[in-house]
């Protein structure tokens, strides 16, 4: 018989197990903690980072994300819509980022906007 979600005491009262959050900490109807519904603006989440605006075919977004994740902390991707992306990297990794983006321009037809900072052209 699977364990129940409540512990039964000798007096017949039921109490939630210790690993269950009190219902007040959960958002109504979602079963998880309450969260912000709007994404933070790209300039805010990439503050202090080197940011390049990059356009790829929507089908190549996952490929680019995989390459970046496999590059030992080189950077991260933020998406505007479809294949319109911002790649953010620590400033001390600029040479590595430029090299990777140059390779991707040749390999999968990535378009890198020159020195584009997130939110600067909007």
- pLDDT per residue over 19-34, tens digit each? 554 544 555 555 666 6
122 pLDDT band, cuts 50/70/90, is very low
Mean pLDDT confidence for 41-45 = 80
Using 50, 70 and 90 to split pLDDT, how confident is the model at 81? confident
Within-domain flag for 22: no
Other beta carbons within 10 Å of 56: 21
Residue 1 included in any domain: no
Q: For residue 82, tell me if it sits in a domain.
A: yes
Residue 120: inside a domain, yes or no?
no
Tally of domains within the chain? 1
- pLDDT in the model for residue 29: 57
Break the chain down into helix, strand, coil percent, rounded to 5: 30, 25, 45
Residue 52: count of CB within 10 angstroms of its CB: 21
79 domain-assigned: yes
Residue 100: inside a domain, yes or no?
Answer: yes
The boundaries of the domain holding residue 47 are 42-112
CB contact set of 6 (below 8 Å; sequence gap of 6+): 14, 15, 16, 17
> CA 44 to CA 25: how far, in whole Å?
27
């Amino acid at each position: 018989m699977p364990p129940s979600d409540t512990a039964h005491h000798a007096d017949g009262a039921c109490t939630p197990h210790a690993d269950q959050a009190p219902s007040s900490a959960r958002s109504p109807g979602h079963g998880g903690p309450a969260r912000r519904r709007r994404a933070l603006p790209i300039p805010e989440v990439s503050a202090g980072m080197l940011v390049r605006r990059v356009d790829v075919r929507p089908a190549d977004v996952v490929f680019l994300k995989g390459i970046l994740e496999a590059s030992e902390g080189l950077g991260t991707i933020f998406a505007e819509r479809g294949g319109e992306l911002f790649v953010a990297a620590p400033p001390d990794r600029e040479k590595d980022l430029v090299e990777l983006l140059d390779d991707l321009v040749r390999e999968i037809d990535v378009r890198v906007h020159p020195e584009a900072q997130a939110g600067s052209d909007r």
